[in-house]
């Protein structure tokens, strides 16, 4: 049990007001007024003895008060007869009327209810939360992982399904928390009144918000100020399904790219290929995230419950250090205004290790020189691999040119650092956490995942269309080989097993094994990986016509049929081009007989059209992930279960010993997943 002093320290580190016990102050009678708390309530980052609680009490119309003093109550029952914590939290305009409250002195693995009440008795809705099991608790752990909720173009039916199923489980089998892997908001938005028929790529645009300040790039509106970023969170959290989910479980959030800027990195925006300094936007994005996400994260400054924004200017960053981090010009101040990578034990069986994959990332290498015409999405893997290594390629003697498609092209990595998203400091921290953890399963919450997607375009039959100009594999998505090798080599040498990467960002479901490289280079998987489909953001199958036109000679590698009813692209990645092309003339089972085992020895499941969530069960002996896939959430489902399921598929891995490779066993529990296996 932590001492009160320890609690006070952890509350300060989390930027939260702290309370123990029930105190004696008179409490105004609670009367629910959801209109005054329009973003609902939330809880986050559960520990065995405490959890962060959150709400936003917005000013009533015409009310000019500078603050509200809220009473926070935590009870063992939803009717608040047995209140175990009572405290006060003040909200002001400084935090956009949000508050973070650390409820301490709680019991482990226990269900609690909480609510906020102002001085007049105007109350928030009641939230439910759960503390973490204590470190020695060997009971199975269950949680879901989600990402990519673009509420401007879709509905959060996945959360409704998650709630419906969890309410029907026995208490011992219910979820402990929701791991949110980012793209909680989409900062790039199209306004419906500016778009033809109010649509964007076939989706109905919701008039959720307009930026009070804002910037515009092509059809897209972008946030510029703190007021802009706050506007998105406020609007998103009025969604009833997202709000119900936050009121039912503690969330454990990290950000991906869209919490700051679509193609941004560090404190730099990239728009149309052009770099723009965005230090003030990075600070604003971090502050809004901190105000709206109840996470135990470190920010600078002495103030207990307020984000103290460093003064930065949007000054161009022209010099980079040897790792590709921008020097001077406030880049470090902006990035360091919030540190979200963190780790915590959750019971005996799991350690959660969460990384920030965007703030310390270096600039993307430009692979366009090895992207041949006529093959949408694909570049040459062999040359991309060299570019990724940067100036460390070929033992520190990188080739000045790359031979590809019968010509020599300049090597864009020749004077660049190796591609990295973690940066040296975070990478060292991650390696240390993975190495010292005593938990049998190390769950690495990784916003975008490590699994490479590639195929064997060199095997295309004659006469179909363009010929692949290389001899190796065609890469659609992958990279960071050198960085992954640095991490995985240590795990292998120390005999660390039980690595399970869980990821989002890809707007698609993937199950496989993570390895720093793939054949014909060294293939030595050190862990399992699961990527969840998006809550609502569009996947490749849906937006594919923008990438490959219906009259394209290689259309059958991407889709089969007039209306994309068969996502052949899944088979292109899983089984190779011969199997994908066979889908035009035969069944999925027959097509799979043409499987090329060299293409994707690391992949077990691919669905580039799936939405939903992943459900993880962790026991001492095995870890299992269930993909719960729903149809494209064009509109909010009217039914209590959130609408129909497309499929439910499980992948289980038993614990493996040092020196062994993990193995995934697949079960299709319900629905049709034949084009993904
Ligand atoms: Fe996303």
Question: Which residues are 50's β-sheet partners?
Answer: 104
Ligand 1 centroid–CA 155 distance in Å is 14
Rounded CA separation 335/553 (Å): 45
Ligand 1 centroid–CA 306 distance in Å is 29
Rounded CA separation 492/487 (Å): 9
Q: And the tokens for 116?
A: 């906020």
Rounded CA separation 363/254 (Å): 21
- What's the alpha-carbon Rg for the chain, to the nearest Å? 25
Rounded CA separation 180/504 (Å): 9
Ligand 1 centroid–CA 297 distance in Å is 22
The CA-atom distances, in angstroms, between 520 and each of 465, 515, 597, 599 are 27, 13, 12, 10
CB 313 within 8 A of CB 274: no
CB 167 within 8 A of CB 223: no
Q: And the tokens for 640?
A: 């209590």
Q: And the tokens for 180?
A: 């949110």
How confident is the model at residue 2, as a pLDDT? 46
Ligand 1 centroid–CA 587 distance in Å is 32
Ligand 1 centroid–CA 445 distance in Å is 15
CB-based burial label for 652 (10 Å; 0-12, 13-18, 19+): middle
Ligand 1 centroid–CA 504 distance in Å is 7
The H-or-E segment that residue 336 falls in is: none
CB 91 within 8 A of CB 51: no
Q: And the tokens for 7?
A: 């609690």
- For residues 118, 121, 127, 132, the Cα torsion angle rounded to the nearest 10 degrees is 60
The CA-atom distances, in angstroms, between 647 and each of 67, 533, 650 are 49, 12, 10
Q: And the tokens for 631?
A: 């149809």
Q: What are phi and psi of 207, to 5 degrees?
A: -80, 65
Instruction: Give the E-state strand segments of 147-224 in sequence order.
Output: 177-180, 199-200, 203-204, 215-217, 220-222
Ligand 1 centroid–CA 559 distance in Å is 22
Ligand 1 centroid–CA 510 distance in Å is 15
Ligand 1 centroid–CA 73 distance in Å is 35
Ligand 1 centroid–CA 539 distance in Å is 9
Q: How many residues does the chain have?
A: 677
CB 248 within 8 A of CB 162: no
Rounded CA separation 289/281 (Å): 12
Rounded CA separation 131/139 (Å): 14
The H-or-E segment that residue 96 falls in is: none
Ligand 1 centroid–CA 53 distance in Å is 26
Ligand 1 centroid–CA 552 distance in Å is 27
Q: What are phi and psi of 181, to 5 degrees?
A: -95, 15
Q: In b/e form, how buried is each residue of 528-565, taking b as 16+ CB within 10 angstroms?
A: bbbbbbbbbbbbbbbebeeebeeebebbbbbbbeeebe
Ligand 1 centroid–CA 148 distance in Å is 4
Q: How many helices (H) and strands (E) does the chain have?
A: 14, 35
Ligand 1 centroid–CA 613 distance in Å is 13
pLDDT lower than 70: segments of the chain: 1-10, 12-13, 23-26, 302-305, 562-563
**Sequential DSSP letters for 446-485:** ESS----EEE-GGGPPTTSSPPP--SSPEEEE---HHHHH
Ligand 1 centroid–CA 224 distance in Å is 20
Q: In b/e form, how buried is each residue of 155-171, taking b as 16+ CB within 10 angstroms?
A: bbbbbbbbbebbeeeee
Ligand 1 centroid–CA 366 distance in Å is 21
- Nearest alpha carbon to residue 509 among 328, 666, 312: 666
How confident is the model at residue 6, as a pLDDT? 66
Ligand 1 centroid–CA 262 distance in Å is 9
Ligand 1 centroid–CA 79 distance in Å is 38
Ligand 1 centroid–CA 183 distance in Å is 5
Ligand 1 centroid–CA 533 distance in Å is 9
Ligand 1 centroid–CA 672 distance in Å is 25
Ligand 1 centroid–CA 450 distance in Å is 15
Ligand 1 centroid–CA 537 distance in Å is 6
The CA-atom distances, in angstroms, between 195 and each of 221, 232, 272 are 12, 19, 20
- For residues 91, 94, 98, 101, the Cα torsion angle rounded to the nearest 10 degrees is -70
Q: And the tokens for 600?
A: 């994707």
CB 470 within 8 A of CB 458: yes
How confident is the model at residue 27, as a pLDDT? 72
- Contacts (Cβ under 8 Å, ≥6 apart) of 395: none
Ligand 1 centroid–CA 506 distance in Å is 7
The H-or-E segment that residue 253 falls in is: strand 250-253
CB 539 within 8 A of CB 567: no
Q: Which residue has the tokens 């161009």?
A: 316
Ligand 1 centroid–CA 444 distance in Å is 18
Q: What's the angle, vertex CA 118, arms to CA 116 and CA 121, rounded to 5?
A: 95
CB 249 within 8 A of CB 180: no
Ligand 1 centroid–CA 612 distance in Å is 13
Ligand 1 centroid–CA 301 distance in Å is 31
Rounded CA separation 115/401 (Å): 63
Ligand 1 centroid–CA 380 distance in Å is 25
CB 645 within 8 A of CB 671: yes
Rounded CA separation 71/68 (Å): 10
Q: And the tokens for 564?
A: 């994309």
Rounded CA separation 575/456 (Å): 9
């Amino acid at each position: 049990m932590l001492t009160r002093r320890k609690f006070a320290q952890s509350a300060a580190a989390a930027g939260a007001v702290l309370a123990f016990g029930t105190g004696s102050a008179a409490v105004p009678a609670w009367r629910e007024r959801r209109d005054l708390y329009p973003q609902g309530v939330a809880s986050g980052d559960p520990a065995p003895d405490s959890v962060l609680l959150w709400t936003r009490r917005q000013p009533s119309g015409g009310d000019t008060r500078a603050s509200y003093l809220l009473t926070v109550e935590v009870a063992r029952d939803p009717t608040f007869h047995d209140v175990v914590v009572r405290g006060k939290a003040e909200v002001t305009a400084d935090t956009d009327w949000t508050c973070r409250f650390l409820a301490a002195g709680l019991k482990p693995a226990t269900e609690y209810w909480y609510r906020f009440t102002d001085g007049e008795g105007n109350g928030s809705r009641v939230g439910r939360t759960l503390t973490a099991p204590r470190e020695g608790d060997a009971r199975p752990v269950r949680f879901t992982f989600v990402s990519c909720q673009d509420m401007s173009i879709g509905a959060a039916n996945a959360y409704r399904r998650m709630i419906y199923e969890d309410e029907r489980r026995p208490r011992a089998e219910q979820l402990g928390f929701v791991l949110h892997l980012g793209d909680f908001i989409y900062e790039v938005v199209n306004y419906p009144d500016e778009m033809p028929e109010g649509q964007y790529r076939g989706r109905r645009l919701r008039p959720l918000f307009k930026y009070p300040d804002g910037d515009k790039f092509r059809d897209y509106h972008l946030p510029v100020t703190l007021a802009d970023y706050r506007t998105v969170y406020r609007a998103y959290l009025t969604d009833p399904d997202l709000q119900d989910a936050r009121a039912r479980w503690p969330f454990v959030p990290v950000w991906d790219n869209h919490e700051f800027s679509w193609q941004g990195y560090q404190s730099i925006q990239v728009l149309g290929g052009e770099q723009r300094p965005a230090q003030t936007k990075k600070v604003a994005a971090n502050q809004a995230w901190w105000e709206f996400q109840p996470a135990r994260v470190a920010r600078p400054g002495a103030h207990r419950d307020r984000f103290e924004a460093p003064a930065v200017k949007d000054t161009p960053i022209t010099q980079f250090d040897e790792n590709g981090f921008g020097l001077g010009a406030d880049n470090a101040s902006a990035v360091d205004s919030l540190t979200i990578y963190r780790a915590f034990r959750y019971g005996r069986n799991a350690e959660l290790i969460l990384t920030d994959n965007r703030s310390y990332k270096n600039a993307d290498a430009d692979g366009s020189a090895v992207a041949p015409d006529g093959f949408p999405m694909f570049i040459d893997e062999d040359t991309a691999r060299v570019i990724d290594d940067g100036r460390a390629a070929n033992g520190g003697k990188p080739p000045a040119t790359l031979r590809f498609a019968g010509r020599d092209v300049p090597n864009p990595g020749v004077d660049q650092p190796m591609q990295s998203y973690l940066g040296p400091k975070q990478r060292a921290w991650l390696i240390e956490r993975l190495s010292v953890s005593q938990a049998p399963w190390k769950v690495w919450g990784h916003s975008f995942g490590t699994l490479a997607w590639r195929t064997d375009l060199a095997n295309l039959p004659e006469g179909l269309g363009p010929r692949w100009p290389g001899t190796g594999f065609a890469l659609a998505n992958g990279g960071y080989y050198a960085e992954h090798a640095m991490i995985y080599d240590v795990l292998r040498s120390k005999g660390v097993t039980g690595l399970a990467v869980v990821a989002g960002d890809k707007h698609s479901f993937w199950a496989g094994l993570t390895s720093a490289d793939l054949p014909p280079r060294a293939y030595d998987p050190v862990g399992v990986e699961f990527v969840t489909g998006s809550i609502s953001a569009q996947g490749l199958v849906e937006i594919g016509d923008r990438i490959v036109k219906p009259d394209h000679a290689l259309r059958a590698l991407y889709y089969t049929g007039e209306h994309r009813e068969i996502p052949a692209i899944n088979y292109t990645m899983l089984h190779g081009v011969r199997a994908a092309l066979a889908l035009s003339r035969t069944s999925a089972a027959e097509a799979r007989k043409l499987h090329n085992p060299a293409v994707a020895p690391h992949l077990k499941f691919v669905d580039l059209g799936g939405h939903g969530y992943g459900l993880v069960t962790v026991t001492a002996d095995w870890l299992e992930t269930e993909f719960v896939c729903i149809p494209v959430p064009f509109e909010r489902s009217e039914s209590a279960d959130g609408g129909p399921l497309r499929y439910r598929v499980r992948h289980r891995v038993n614990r493996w010993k040092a020196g062994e490779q993990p193995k995934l066993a697949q079960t299709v529990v319900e629905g049709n997943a034949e084009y993904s296996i």
